[in-house]
Amino acid sequence: MAYIDFSIYIITSDNLPLKEQLFFLKKLKYYRYKNDIAVQIRFNNESENIIMDFAKELKRELSDIRLIINNSVSIMNKLDLDGVHLKENVNLVSMDIKKYQNNDKLILKSTHSLESVKNAEKYGLDAITYGPVFDTPSKRQYGKPNGYELIKNNKFNIPVFALGGINMDNIHELKEYFHGLGAIRLFMNKDIIKNITEVGKLWK
């Protein structure tokens, strides 16, 4: 398991034009504490070629910021990205996790249940996201948010990032229980530098 030193996990959006997102993300060049952040490139409705072109441009522009690709080990390897973020239902038995970790690749995974969190621990993943901790429009079709009682009431030996419905009004509830936070709407906007700066100050 690698040491996860970043606490701000910026996630791309399926609801914003790619050029607009590149414009926002390129501003990260001017953020002083680059070790505090990582970017997950996550697009559910784009082709592999488009995703790769997006990732290549980010890698050129943000050479000193960790880039994590969503659920594609092949793209991670082709572009030599920093890691991969796996879906919750990925079969970890069929993956040789140590092979990637020995190559200094970060392996993260989405979780929404106690069983899934323990499974990620069992296979030595580097970190997980857990959520949604608060109400978020993209997850309402699945029911009520999970909240964060599971993380609050259990001790896990894996860094956990809160995810879902996080904003500047509720972030203070999470710091005591989570290693960091992941977000789309909070960061993917014209105020990206202002918002990660404020989050960074709160999280320290």
- Does 91 fall in a domain? yes
pLDDT for the residue numbered 102: 64
pLDDT for the residue numbered 98: 65
pLDDT for the residue numbered 91: 82
Q: Which domain holds residue 162?
A: 8-203
Domain count, the chain: 1
> What CATH number does residue 19 fall under?
3.20.20.70
- Does 189 fall in a domain? yes
pLDDT for the residue numbered 95: 73
The sign of the CA dihedral 106, 43, 146, 198 is positive
Q: Which segments of the chain have a pLDDT < 70? A: 94, 98-102, 139-141
- Does 3 fall in a domain? no
* The two three-digit tokens of residue 191, written as one number: 């105020």
pLDDT for the residue numbered 2: 74
pLDDT for the residue numbered 191: 96
pLDDT for the residue numbered 3: 83
- Does 184 fall in a domain? yes
pLDDT for the residue numbered 104: 83
pLDDT for the residue numbered 137: 73
- Does 2 fall in a domain? no
